Chains A and B, each alone.
Chain A
Amino acid sequence: MIALPPTFDANLAIDIALLVMLVVLAGAIVRTRSLLAAIILFSIYSLISAVWFVIMDAPDVAFTEAVVGAGISTIVLLGAILLTRGETERPDWRRLIAPALVCITVGGILIYAATGLPALGDASSPANAYIGRAYLEAAPKDIGLPNTVTAVLASYRGFDTFGETAVIFAAGVGVALMLGFGPRASLAPPPVVTGDHHVVLRVAAKLLIPLIALFALYVQFHGDLGAGGGFQAGVIMAAAIILHALVFGLRETVSAVPPRVARSVASLGVLVYAGVGVACMINGGAFLDYDYLFPPEVEKQIPGWLLGDSEHAHHWGQHFGIMLIELGVLLTVAATMVTIFYGFAGRTIDDARREAKP
């Protein structure tokens, strides 16, 4: 946390440039009538937001914004406009008056509130001096992870993360309810890329997909040490599967990862998370109290090398607990993203038209 110096300097110039870009992009998104352009602009908006988060010393948030905002949601939105028209109509300006007034009021209140906010990185601000400091002091003792953000998200506030995993699961349930269960293998549209003249693309994809999956696993297990964790890893893993579908065709992907399997894995992830919580409970702790993950008689038999160094050995419950719940998050997020992609990709414009008829 470095407080910005009051004088004009390069940092400030970068800040202002990024914020101006965000404002211009937001204006362009509102103005454009082409949905495709809006989606691409949204993607850029997310990427710049991610850069902005990095500048604010929040690399975990930045990572999530990059993979979710610029990555997977762009793909989902692109899938959605395949089923609709690509343009919107210019709305009647009279219908814009009320929303504009609401926006101006909300903006006014936000600016009013900002006048009272503490400066960025102010060590004496309530959030930093009170709870932020408490986390930094307590986390090495309680959890023993180098990345305090992961300690907070996965252990101190692990119940929030559990709820968010349930939200992702709920979104998957919702999309599956609306759009059906994805394509049947026999009806899947033909591969997007056919013919031998795309051989480079196929070969490159074949090389890339395992690497992307490997990177997802790296992000998954690196979360204890640096930015990363189950959410980001799940999205990256889903991206590998979606890339497979884009290059080799939905039919191939569906036979490798059937929709039914994807949906089951989404449930399973939440169950893994809940199961960890219940296991802690059975062993006498509170829900998600990883210190009670294994009964004490088992604890003694854990070989020291499993944890790498003896210094962290007394936190083995926290380590394993966090590893397991992050696995649950990975499963649910990846499977849900694939389910959502199948939901969109499995429908054609004909399907949509047929259903639109009363």
Chain B
Amino acid sequence: MISFEALHAAPLALTAHAPVLMVVGPLIAACAAALAPTARTSWMISVTGSIFAAWMALALLGEVARRGAVDYYIGGFAPPLGIAFHIDGLSVFMALLISSAGVMASLYSGHSLSAEVRAEKHTLVQAGFLLCQSGLLGLVSTGDAFNAFVFLEVSSIGTYALIAIGEKRDRRALPAAFNYLIMGTIGATFYVVGVGFLLAATGTLNMADMGARLATLGDSSVVQAGFAFVVVGLGIKAAMFPLHGWLPGAYSYAPSLISIFLAATATKAAIYLMARFVFDVFPDGAAFGQGFIAWVLAPLAATAAIVCSLQAVFEKEIRRMLAFSSVAQVGFILMGLSLATVAGASAGLFYLGAHALLKMTLFMALGGLAISMGARRLDELAGVARDAPWSATAFAIGAASLAGVPLTLGFLAKWRLIEAALQAGQIWIVAVLATASLLTLLYVGRMLEAIFFRAAPAGAPRAREAPVGVLAPLWILAGLNLWFGIDASLPEKLANAGALALLGGTP
């Protein structure tokens, strides 16, 4: 059994400031990367900054296990006057996920960027990537509702441009980025309007304080509107069905570094914040909160799982296929959370982590193939398995995990979700899960059939195997899909701690 309590990852002086260092570290690295003289230097800064953030997240894992939760008062001012970081089991779970995704993506970017983006722009791409990482880490660490908005913006603003520079390879990146810019801005505005209403009702921005005051103040039209605006705003950012229109384009045409990182983290961080509001800030007794989970969240999540899986089945371009699949999988995660039990939340979080890992594997494998081929459509990938066996096999492992083949992480994730649904007596969720999983099998089958079993068309350019700099992080990810498929005690423990932090109760 792994014991997090014994984990002392960093010296005490650093651990004491780990919550803020985890966020400020990548941000300082972003400024340094923008100043870097060469593309190579900026890449090294990016890797260093990402590893530093992951290191701090590990240090926090031990601290949270020992102390239950870590509070850090920025500027030395206790809330509600000042901004406090509140790191509990759930924050640590998200921070580990985001920072390790950052490490993998930055390692990978050493090779991919030179194939996809002009060399003089590398320093700025790395700066934007680090800003995005810092913003997402801040979002999951802060205990302040307005501070979360600021970090939401830090992570989003750079992302819009990073998606748009995909236009060098595909002009459709421009409308996709513009679409995301408009939708993302509407989402952020809704969120901040909602927070404004909640501030007017409670007089505080600290989320824990807000929750405590809402519990005593009771219901009012201001609180209800605040709830609606926050949830819809974050729903857009989380690509919650039917607010997901921006996602397929944003994931499909961005440079692969960005789609890898976004697919693993961006929507997940918004889901995190939404869960915080729905379960922590709003009192358990609020009728509209319960009603929202039962009558809005769960049905929409189920619809997403079915409809977007179907869309993926009929899609011709492979990255769009994966993007639709992502919206469907967000549905799976939200279904788990909507059970509102510790087992359900734990299964949802486990699924969230599993999906981040396997989608990263898939997007990175595709990125590796596209470095040599530039392929977009499924039929252009016909027969690449023969020319690039390592990338193709890693892709197959990720795909098997997505489909939920036994002995992969994806299988365990689905299994735990079904278990939790049965425990909560929600049989219909099991039925939806089964249907959506069948559809997943269909589109995964289509991808694998094209890559492995179809002959390359005569005269087509032959693919080359991806360079070692790509294969190394790719195979670490693929290996983790298999490892956790057999021994999932580590992610299970993290997800359980997260669920307990979210819903309270005993292990």
Contact = CB atoms under 8 A, between A and B. Distances in A.
A109 interface: yes
Interface residues of B, number: 63
B199 to A, nearest CB: 6
B128 A173 contact: yes
A131 B74 contact: no
| Residue of A167, A173, A287 contacting most chain B CB atoms (<10 Å) | A173
Contacts of A164: 150, 153
A289 B74 CA distance: 7
B125 A177 contact: yes
A308 to B, nearest CB: 24
A156 B75 contact: yes
B228 interface: yes
Contacts, number: 176
A292 B77 CA distance: 13
B74 A158 contact: yes
B125 A112 contact: no
A343 to B, nearest CB: 11
24 contacts: A110-B225, A113-B197, A116-B221, A116-B223, A117-B200, A117-B222, A126-B204, A127-B199, A130-B80, A156-B83, A157-B83, A166-B134, A167-B150, A167-B154, A171-B157, A173-B128, A176-B124, A177-B125, A267-B34, A270-B30, A281-B17, A281-B20, A286-B20, A289-B74
Q: Could you say which of A110, A118, A176, A266 has the most chain B C-beta atoms within 10 Å of its C-beta?
A: A176
Nearest to A290: B75
Contact of B76 (A160, A268, A285): A285
Contacts of A169: 30-31, 34, 131
Nearest to A174: B161
A265 to B, nearest CB: 10
Nearest to A132: B203
Nearest to B19: A287
B125 A271 contact: no
Contact of B24 (A127, A176, A177, A274): A274
Nearest to B204: A131
A99 B147 CA distance: 30
B222 A134 contact: no
B375 interface: no
Nearest to B76: A289
A116 B225 CA distance: 10
Contacts of A117: 200, 222
B204 A130 contact: yes
B473 interface: no
Nearest to B162: A177
Interface in A142-188: 142, 155-160, 163-164, 166-167, 169-171, 173-178, 181
A79 to B, nearest CB: 17
Given A267-B35, A270-B27, A281-B17, A130 B75 contact: no
Contacts of A167: 150, 153-154, 157
A125 B202 CA distance: 9
Contacts of B34: 169, 173, 263, 266-267
Interface in B206-261: 213, 217, 220-226, 228-229
Contacts of B73: 286
Interface string B50-82: 000000000000000000000011111100111
A88 interface: no
Kindly state the interface size class of chain A when it binds its partner: 35 or more
Contacts of A138: 81
Given A157-B147, A163-B138, A274-B28, 16 more contacts: A110-B225, A112-B221, A126-B203, A155-B77, A157-B82, A158-B74, A160-B146, A164-B150, A167-B153, A170-B154, A178-B161, A267-B32, A271-B28, A287-B24, A287-B74, A289-B75
Interface in B67-122: 72-77, 80-83, 120-121
A155 B299 CA distance: 44
Contact of B80 (A113, A131, A173, A289): A131
Contacts of B225: 109-110, 112-113
**Shortest beta-carbon contacts, A-B, top 4:** A174-B161, A130-B203, A113-B225, A126-B203
B76 A113 contact: no
Nearest to A318: B75
Counting chain A CB atoms within 10 Å of each CB, the highest count among B160, B199, B200 belongs to B200
Contacts of A131: 80-81, 203-205
B171 interface: yes
Given A112-B225, A131-B203, A166 B154 contact: yes
Interface in B21-50: 24, 27-28, 30-32, 34-35
A277 B124 CA distance: 24
Contact of A170 (B28, B158, B220): B158
A163 B154 contact: yes
B264 interface: no
A266 B127 CA distance: 12
Nearest to B151: A163
Nearest to B82: A156
Contacts of B451: none
Contacts of B20: 277, 281, 286-287
Contacts of B131: 166, 169-170, 173
B220 A174 contact: no
Given A117-B222, A167-B150, A173-B158, A286 B203 contact: no
Nearest to B83: A159
A310 interface: no
